Amino acid sequence: MTQFAKRVTAIDISGIRKMFEGAGPDAINMGLGQPDFDTPENIKAAAVAALAGGKTGYTNNAGVDELRAAVAAKLQRENNISCGAGNVVITAGGSGALNIAIQSLIDSGEKVIFNNPGFVSYGALTTLAGGIPDPVALRPDLHLDVETIKEHMSDPKAKVFVLNSPANPTGMVETPETIRAIVESAADYDVTVISDEVYEKFCYGSTKFVSAATFGDNVVTVNAASKTYAMTGWRIGFLAASEEIVHEVIKVQQYTLACATSIAQYAALEAYTGPQDSVAAMKKEYEARRNLLIAGLTDLGIPVNKPDGAFYAFPKMDAEMVMKIVNAGVIITPGTAFGSAGVGYARMSYATSQKNIKTALERIAKVME
Ligand code: PLP
Protein backbone atom coordinates (compact mmCIF):
# COMPACT_ATOMS: atom_id res chain seq x y z
CA MET A 1 0.00 0.00 0.00
CA THR A 2 1.24 3.46 -0.86
CA GLN A 3 2.22 5.50 2.18
CA PHE A 4 1.29 9.14 1.79
CA ALA A 5 2.59 12.22 3.52
CA LYS A 6 0.69 12.93 6.75
CA ARG A 7 0.55 16.61 5.76
CA VAL A 8 -1.72 15.51 2.90
CA THR A 9 -3.68 12.65 4.48
CA ALA A 10 -4.48 14.98 7.41
CA ILE A 11 -6.60 17.23 5.20
CA ASP A 12 -10.00 16.52 3.69
CA ILE A 13 -11.67 17.35 0.38
CA SER A 14 -13.74 20.52 0.88
CA GLY A 15 -17.26 19.82 2.20
CA ILE A 16 -18.76 22.28 -0.27
CA ARG A 17 -18.72 19.92 -3.25
CA LYS A 18 -20.40 17.12 -1.29
CA MET A 19 -23.74 18.95 -1.35
CA PHE A 20 -24.04 18.66 -5.14
CA GLU A 21 -24.48 14.91 -4.91
CA GLY A 22 -27.89 15.06 -3.18
CA ALA A 23 -29.43 17.53 -5.65
CA GLY A 24 -31.61 16.87 -8.71
CA PRO A 25 -30.99 18.20 -12.26
CA ASP A 26 -33.20 21.31 -11.89
CA ALA A 27 -31.65 22.24 -8.56
CA ILE A 28 -30.81 25.89 -7.97
CA ASN A 29 -27.18 26.21 -7.08
CA MET A 30 -26.58 28.54 -4.14
CA GLY A 31 -23.55 26.52 -3.10
CA LEU A 32 -20.88 28.06 -5.29
CA GLY A 33 -18.48 30.83 -4.40
CA GLN A 34 -18.08 32.08 -7.93
CA PRO A 35 -19.68 34.91 -9.89
CA ASP A 36 -22.39 33.80 -12.33
CA PHE A 37 -21.34 36.63 -14.68
CA ASP A 38 -19.13 36.15 -17.72
CA THR A 39 -15.74 37.90 -17.88
CA PRO A 40 -16.21 41.41 -19.41
CA GLU A 41 -15.60 41.60 -23.18
CA ASN A 42 -12.70 44.09 -23.02
CA ILE A 43 -10.79 41.64 -20.81
CA LYS A 44 -11.48 38.69 -23.10
CA ALA A 45 -10.35 40.80 -26.09
CA ALA A 46 -7.04 41.57 -24.34
CA ALA A 47 -6.45 37.83 -23.88
CA VAL A 48 -7.18 37.19 -27.55
CA ALA A 49 -4.77 39.97 -28.55
CA ALA A 50 -2.06 38.56 -26.26
CA LEU A 51 -2.52 35.15 -27.83
CA ALA A 52 -2.42 36.55 -31.38
CA GLY A 53 0.61 38.64 -30.44
CA GLY A 54 2.57 35.58 -29.37
CA LYS A 55 2.67 36.37 -25.64
CA THR A 56 2.82 32.66 -24.99
CA GLY A 57 6.14 32.10 -23.25
CA TYR A 58 7.15 32.07 -19.58
CA THR A 59 6.94 35.45 -17.90
CA ASN A 60 9.09 36.58 -14.97
CA ASN A 61 8.38 34.48 -11.87
CA ALA A 62 6.85 37.53 -10.21
CA GLY A 63 4.72 38.31 -13.25
CA VAL A 64 4.69 40.62 -16.27
CA ASP A 65 6.31 43.97 -15.36
CA GLU A 66 3.41 46.10 -16.68
CA LEU A 67 0.89 44.11 -14.65
CA ARG A 68 2.96 44.34 -11.46
CA ALA A 69 3.18 48.10 -11.99
CA ALA A 70 -0.57 48.34 -12.71
CA VAL A 71 -1.40 46.42 -9.53
CA ALA A 72 0.96 48.62 -7.49
CA ALA A 73 -0.73 51.71 -8.96
CA LYS A 74 -4.16 50.27 -8.09
CA LEU A 75 -3.06 49.57 -4.51
CA GLN A 76 -1.75 53.14 -4.14
CA ARG A 77 -4.77 54.77 -5.76
CA GLU A 78 -7.63 52.71 -4.36
CA ASN A 79 -6.24 51.11 -1.21
CA ASN A 80 -3.91 53.81 0.08
CA ILE A 81 -1.06 51.27 0.30
CA SER A 82 2.36 52.69 -0.54
CA CYS A 83 4.06 50.16 -2.80
CA GLY A 84 5.84 49.78 -6.12
CA ALA A 85 6.01 47.05 -8.75
CA GLY A 86 8.79 45.37 -6.73
CA ASN A 87 6.35 44.73 -3.89
CA VAL A 88 3.88 42.83 -6.10
CA VAL A 89 3.88 39.15 -7.14
CA ILE A 90 1.32 37.92 -9.68
CA THR A 91 0.01 34.50 -8.61
CA ALA A 92 -2.31 31.69 -9.70
CA GLY A 93 -5.43 33.24 -8.21
CA GLY A 94 -5.84 34.33 -4.63
CA SER A 95 -5.23 30.67 -3.75
CA GLY A 96 -1.73 30.82 -5.23
CA ALA A 97 -0.98 33.96 -3.23
CA LEU A 98 -2.24 32.41 0.04
CA ASN A 99 -0.19 29.29 -0.66
CA ILE A 100 3.17 30.95 -1.33
CA ALA A 101 2.66 33.35 1.59
CA ILE A 102 1.90 30.57 4.09
CA GLN A 103 4.65 28.30 2.69
CA SER A 104 7.18 31.10 3.12
CA LEU A 105 6.16 32.26 6.58
CA ILE A 106 5.36 29.04 8.47
CA ASP A 107 7.89 26.67 9.94
CA SER A 108 6.93 23.26 11.25
CA GLY A 109 4.82 23.56 14.41
CA GLU A 110 4.04 27.26 14.00
CA LYS A 111 0.46 28.48 14.19
CA VAL A 112 -1.79 30.25 11.72
CA ILE A 113 -4.78 31.95 13.36
CA PHE A 114 -7.97 32.55 11.36
CA ASN A 115 -11.71 32.91 11.84
CA ASN A 116 -14.02 29.95 12.45
CA PRO A 117 -16.16 29.60 10.42
CA GLY A 118 -13.84 30.78 7.67
CA PHE A 119 -12.64 30.13 4.14
CA VAL A 120 -11.70 26.43 3.81
CA SER A 121 -8.17 26.96 2.48
CA TYR A 122 -6.58 28.68 5.49
CA GLY A 123 -6.42 25.59 7.68
CA ALA A 124 -5.59 23.18 4.84
CA LEU A 125 -2.72 25.34 3.50
CA THR A 126 -1.35 25.62 7.03
CA THR A 127 -1.34 21.84 7.46
CA LEU A 128 0.28 21.40 4.03
CA ALA A 129 3.03 23.80 5.15
CA GLY A 130 3.63 21.73 8.30
CA GLY A 131 2.02 24.33 10.54
CA ILE A 132 -0.82 24.17 13.05
CA PRO A 133 -4.22 25.68 12.15
CA ASP A 134 -5.54 27.78 15.04
CA PRO A 135 -9.17 28.71 14.27
CA VAL A 136 -10.85 31.24 16.57
CA ALA A 137 -14.65 31.23 16.81
CA LEU A 138 -16.48 34.34 15.61
CA ARG A 139 -18.72 36.22 18.06
CA PRO A 140 -22.46 35.43 17.94
CA ASP A 141 -22.91 38.48 15.65
CA LEU A 142 -20.47 36.73 13.24
CA HIS A 143 -17.78 39.41 13.64
CA LEU A 144 -14.19 38.83 14.73
CA ASP A 145 -13.57 38.36 18.45
CA VAL A 146 -10.58 40.71 18.77
CA GLU A 147 -9.81 40.02 22.44
CA THR A 148 -9.67 36.24 21.92
CA ILE A 149 -7.59 36.72 18.76
CA LYS A 150 -5.11 38.82 20.78
CA GLU A 151 -4.82 35.99 23.33
CA HIS A 152 -4.04 33.54 20.52
CA MET A 153 -1.48 35.95 19.06
CA SER A 154 0.34 36.05 22.40
CA ASP A 155 1.21 32.33 22.02
CA PRO A 156 4.91 32.22 21.06
CA LYS A 157 4.04 29.69 18.33
CA ALA A 158 1.64 32.14 16.66
CA LYS A 159 3.16 33.33 13.39
CA VAL A 160 0.38 34.46 11.05
CA PHE A 161 -3.16 35.83 11.35
CA VAL A 162 -5.33 35.58 8.25
CA LEU A 163 -7.83 38.43 8.05
CA ASN A 164 -10.71 38.06 5.59
CA SER A 165 -13.06 41.04 5.27
CA PRO A 166 -15.52 41.00 3.52
CA ALA A 167 -15.66 37.43 4.77
CA ASN A 168 -16.46 34.08 3.27
CA PRO A 169 -18.76 32.43 4.46
CA THR A 170 -20.51 35.10 6.55
CA GLY A 171 -20.50 38.19 4.32
CA MET A 172 -19.45 40.29 7.32
CA VAL A 173 -17.24 43.35 6.88
CA GLU A 174 -15.04 44.41 9.80
CA THR A 175 -14.79 48.06 10.88
CA PRO A 176 -11.57 50.07 10.36
CA GLU A 177 -11.18 50.13 14.18
CA THR A 178 -11.25 46.31 14.36
CA ILE A 179 -8.78 45.97 11.48
CA ARG A 180 -6.45 48.53 13.04
CA ALA A 181 -6.60 46.76 16.44
CA ILE A 182 -5.72 43.44 14.80
CA VAL A 183 -2.82 44.80 12.74
CA GLU A 184 -1.38 46.71 15.72
CA SER A 185 -1.71 43.73 18.10
CA ALA A 186 -0.12 41.46 15.49
CA ALA A 187 2.83 43.87 15.28
CA ASP A 188 3.20 43.75 19.09
CA TYR A 189 3.45 39.96 18.98
CA ASP A 190 5.56 39.71 15.78
CA VAL A 191 2.68 38.09 13.95
CA THR A 192 2.32 38.73 10.21
CA VAL A 193 -1.19 39.52 8.95
CA ILE A 194 -2.23 38.02 5.63
CA SER A 195 -5.17 40.16 4.54
CA ASP A 196 -7.38 38.25 2.10
CA GLU A 197 -9.20 41.03 0.24
CA VAL A 198 -10.70 39.08 -2.67
CA TYR A 199 -14.21 40.49 -1.96
CA GLU A 200 -13.00 44.08 -1.59
CA LYS A 201 -15.20 45.44 -4.41
CA PHE A 202 -18.40 43.96 -3.03
CA CYS A 203 -19.29 46.13 -0.01
CA TYR A 204 -22.88 47.36 0.10
CA GLY A 205 -24.84 50.36 1.36
CA SER A 206 -22.62 52.78 3.23
CA THR A 207 -20.06 50.07 4.11
CA LYS A 208 -16.54 51.20 3.27
CA PHE A 209 -13.69 48.84 2.47
CA VAL A 210 -10.37 49.45 4.24
CA SER A 211 -7.13 47.57 3.51
CA ALA A 212 -5.28 46.19 6.53
CA ALA A 213 -1.92 47.34 5.12
CA THR A 214 -2.95 50.97 5.74
CA PHE A 215 -2.46 50.26 9.47
CA GLY A 216 1.01 48.69 9.46
CA ASP A 217 3.79 47.17 7.38
CA ASN A 218 3.46 43.67 8.92
CA VAL A 219 0.75 42.88 6.34
CA VAL A 220 0.74 40.73 3.21
CA THR A 221 -2.15 41.88 1.02
CA VAL A 222 -3.77 39.11 -1.03
CA ASN A 223 -6.28 39.81 -3.78
CA ALA A 224 -7.38 38.38 -7.12
CA ALA A 225 -9.04 39.19 -10.42
CA SER A 226 -11.27 36.15 -9.77
CA LYS A 227 -14.28 37.66 -7.99
CA THR A 228 -13.78 41.33 -8.89
CA TYR A 229 -13.81 40.78 -12.67
CA ALA A 230 -15.66 37.42 -12.83
CA MET A 231 -12.42 35.69 -13.80
CA THR A 232 -12.30 32.65 -11.51
CA GLY A 233 -11.13 30.29 -14.26
CA TRP A 234 -8.32 32.56 -15.45
CA ARG A 235 -6.35 31.98 -12.26
CA ILE A 236 -4.88 35.41 -11.66
CA GLY A 237 -4.31 36.88 -8.22
CA PHE A 238 -1.54 38.79 -6.51
CA LEU A 239 0.13 39.49 -3.23
CA ALA A 240 1.73 42.73 -2.14
CA ALA A 241 4.27 42.81 0.66
CA SER A 242 7.65 44.16 1.75
CA GLU A 243 10.58 43.43 -0.58
CA GLU A 244 11.96 41.13 2.13
CA ILE A 245 8.82 38.96 1.95
CA VAL A 246 8.66 39.17 -1.85
CA HIS A 247 12.24 37.85 -2.02
CA GLU A 248 11.20 34.66 -0.18
CA VAL A 249 7.77 34.02 -1.73
CA ILE A 250 9.23 34.32 -5.23
CA LYS A 251 11.34 31.24 -4.51
CA VAL A 252 8.26 29.16 -3.69
CA GLN A 253 6.50 30.48 -6.78
CA GLN A 254 9.53 29.77 -9.00
CA TYR A 255 9.78 26.12 -8.01
CA THR A 256 6.07 25.31 -7.78
CA LEU A 257 4.41 27.34 -10.55
CA ALA A 258 7.19 29.20 -12.44
CA CYS A 259 4.73 31.96 -13.30
CA ALA A 260 1.04 32.69 -13.70
CA THR A 261 -0.39 32.04 -17.19
CA SER A 262 1.01 34.62 -19.63
CA ILE A 263 -2.19 35.20 -21.61
CA ALA A 264 -4.28 35.55 -18.45
CA GLN A 265 -1.78 38.09 -17.10
CA TYR A 266 -2.36 40.31 -20.16
CA ALA A 267 -6.10 39.93 -19.67
CA ALA A 268 -5.66 40.99 -16.03
CA LEU A 269 -3.63 44.02 -17.18
CA GLU A 270 -6.71 45.18 -19.10
CA ALA A 271 -8.90 44.32 -16.09
CA TYR A 272 -6.91 46.52 -13.71
CA THR A 273 -6.23 49.38 -16.15
CA GLY A 274 -9.34 49.39 -18.40
CA PRO A 275 -12.90 50.64 -17.74
CA GLN A 276 -14.32 49.60 -14.37
CA ASP A 277 -18.04 49.98 -15.17
CA SER A 278 -18.61 46.20 -15.28
CA VAL A 279 -17.44 45.93 -11.65
CA ALA A 280 -19.93 48.63 -10.62
CA ALA A 281 -22.71 46.85 -12.53
CA MET A 282 -21.96 43.49 -10.86
CA LYS A 283 -21.86 45.11 -7.44
CA LYS A 284 -25.24 46.78 -8.02
CA GLU A 285 -26.77 43.45 -9.03
CA TYR A 286 -25.25 41.56 -6.06
CA GLU A 287 -26.64 44.20 -3.71
CA ALA A 288 -30.16 43.83 -5.19
CA ARG A 289 -29.90 40.05 -4.82
CA ARG A 290 -28.71 40.36 -1.23
CA ASN A 291 -31.69 42.57 -0.39
CA LEU A 292 -34.06 40.12 -2.07
CA LEU A 293 -32.60 37.07 -0.30
CA ILE A 294 -32.37 38.62 3.17
CA ALA A 295 -35.93 39.99 2.95
CA GLY A 296 -37.18 36.58 1.77
CA LEU A 297 -35.43 34.62 4.53
CA THR A 298 -36.62 37.10 7.15
CA ASP A 299 -40.22 36.79 5.88
CA LEU A 300 -39.91 33.02 6.26
CA GLY A 301 -38.80 33.48 9.88
CA ILE A 302 -35.27 32.20 9.23
CA PRO A 303 -32.88 34.22 11.42
CA VAL A 304 -30.13 35.88 9.37
CA ASN A 305 -27.71 38.80 9.88
CA LYS A 306 -27.69 41.25 6.99
CA PRO A 307 -24.30 40.74 5.31
CA ASP A 308 -22.48 43.95 4.29
CA GLY A 309 -20.22 42.37 1.70
CA ALA A 310 -19.11 39.43 -0.50
CA PHE A 311 -21.99 37.41 -2.01
CA TYR A 312 -23.02 35.11 0.83
CA ALA A 313 -25.76 35.02 3.43
CA PHE A 314 -25.18 32.93 6.56
CA PRO A 315 -28.61 32.15 8.06
CA LYS A 316 -29.18 30.07 11.17
CA MET A 317 -30.45 26.57 10.42
CA ASP A 318 -29.72 23.08 11.66
CA ALA A 319 -28.20 20.24 9.58
CA GLU A 320 -31.61 18.55 9.13
CA MET A 321 -33.08 21.71 7.62
CA VAL A 322 -30.07 22.07 5.28
CA MET A 323 -30.65 18.54 3.98
CA LYS A 324 -34.39 19.18 3.51
CA ILE A 325 -33.63 22.32 1.50
CA VAL A 326 -31.06 20.50 -0.66
CA ASN A 327 -33.55 17.67 -1.25
CA ALA A 328 -36.15 20.30 -2.26
CA GLY A 329 -33.81 21.45 -5.04
CA VAL A 330 -31.79 24.31 -3.55
CA ILE A 331 -28.10 23.57 -3.09
CA ILE A 332 -26.72 25.30 0.00
CA THR A 333 -23.73 24.49 2.18
CA PRO A 334 -23.83 23.52 5.87
CA GLY A 335 -21.94 25.98 8.05
CA THR A 336 -19.73 23.18 9.38
CA ALA A 337 -18.02 22.98 5.95
CA PHE A 338 -16.28 26.20 7.09
CA GLY A 339 -15.27 25.09 10.58
CA SER A 340 -16.69 23.64 13.78
CA ALA A 341 -18.20 26.97 14.85
CA GLY A 342 -20.36 26.94 11.70
CA VAL A 343 -22.68 24.42 13.37
CA GLY A 344 -26.30 25.62 13.25
CA TYR A 345 -25.72 27.77 10.14
CA ALA A 346 -25.78 27.41 6.37
CA ARG A 347 -24.06 29.39 3.64
CA MET A 348 -26.20 30.61 0.76
CA SER A 349 -24.39 32.16 -2.18
CA TYR A 350 -26.35 34.81 -4.05
CA ALA A 351 -24.06 34.66 -7.07
CA THR A 352 -27.14 33.51 -8.97
CA SER A 353 -29.98 35.38 -10.71
CA GLN A 354 -32.85 37.13 -8.91
CA LYS A 355 -35.20 34.74 -10.71
CA ASN A 356 -33.32 31.78 -9.20
CA ILE A 357 -33.31 33.39 -5.76
CA LYS A 358 -37.12 33.85 -5.96
CA THR A 359 -37.62 30.21 -6.96
CA ALA A 360 -35.24 29.08 -4.20
CA LEU A 361 -37.24 31.07 -1.63
CA GLU A 362 -40.49 29.46 -2.88
CA ARG A 363 -38.97 26.00 -2.49
CA ILE A 364 -37.68 26.82 0.99
CA ALA A 365 -41.14 28.16 1.93
CA LYS A 366 -42.62 24.74 1.00
CA VAL A 367 -40.04 23.00 3.20
CA MET A 368 -40.99 25.29 6.10
CA GLU A 369 -44.71 24.41 5.83
N1 PLP B 1 -10.15 33.81 -0.48
C2 PLP B 1 -11.46 33.69 -0.25
C3 PLP B 1 -12.03 34.27 0.98
C4 PLP B 1 -12.28 33.01 -1.16
O5 PLP B 1 -13.59 32.87 -0.92
C6 PLP B 1 -11.69 32.44 -2.32
C7 PLP B 1 -12.50 31.69 -3.29
O8 PLP B 1 -13.59 31.25 -3.04
C9 PLP B 1 -10.32 32.61 -2.51
C10 PLP B 1 -9.57 33.29 -1.58
C11 PLP B 1 -9.62 32.00 -3.69
O12 PLP B 1 -9.75 32.79 -4.81
P13 PLP B 1 -9.12 32.36 -6.20
O14 PLP B 1 -10.21 31.76 -7.01
O15 PLP B 1 -8.65 33.67 -6.77
O16 PLP B 1 -8.00 31.43 -5.96
Would you place residue 200 in the very low, low, confident or very high pLDDT band (cuts 50, 70, 90)?
A: very high
Are 210 and 179 spatial neighbours (Cβ–Cβ below 8 Å)?
yes
125 CA to centre of ligand 1 in angstroms: 13
Sign of the torsion formed by the C-alpha atoms of 233, 161, 171 and 274: negative
Closest residue by Cα to residue 266 from 18, 21, 105, 68? 68
- The pLDDT, as a whole number, for residue 12 is 86
CA 182 to CA 159: how far, in whole Å? 14
CA 60 to CA 17: how far, in whole Å? 34
What residues are paired with 132 via a beta bridge?
111
**168 within ligand 1 shell (Cβ under 6 A):** yes
**224 within ligand 1 shell (Cβ under 6 A):** yes
Tens of pLDDT, residues 167-197: 999 999 999 999 999 999 999 999 999 999 9
Radius of gyration of the chain (CA): 20
Closest approach atom of ligand 1 to CA 167: 3
* Residue 192 host element (H or E): strand 192-196
Write 134-143 long-range contacts (CB < 8 A, 24+).
134/158, 135/339, 135/340, 135/341, 137/341, 138/170, 138/172, 138/341, 141/305, 142/170, 142/172, 142/305, 142/314, 143/172, 143/174, 143/178
- The pLDDT, as a whole number, for residue 144 is 98
**164 within ligand 1 shell (Cβ under 6 A):** yes
Closest residue by Cα to residue 100 from 262, 268, 239? 239
> DSSP secondary-structure letter at 142?
S
**170 within ligand 1 shell (Cβ under 6 A):** no
CA distances from 64 to 6, 70, 244, 251, 363 (A): 36, 10, 20, 16, 48
Average pLDDT across the chain, whole number: 96
Q: What is this structure's pTM? A: 0.97
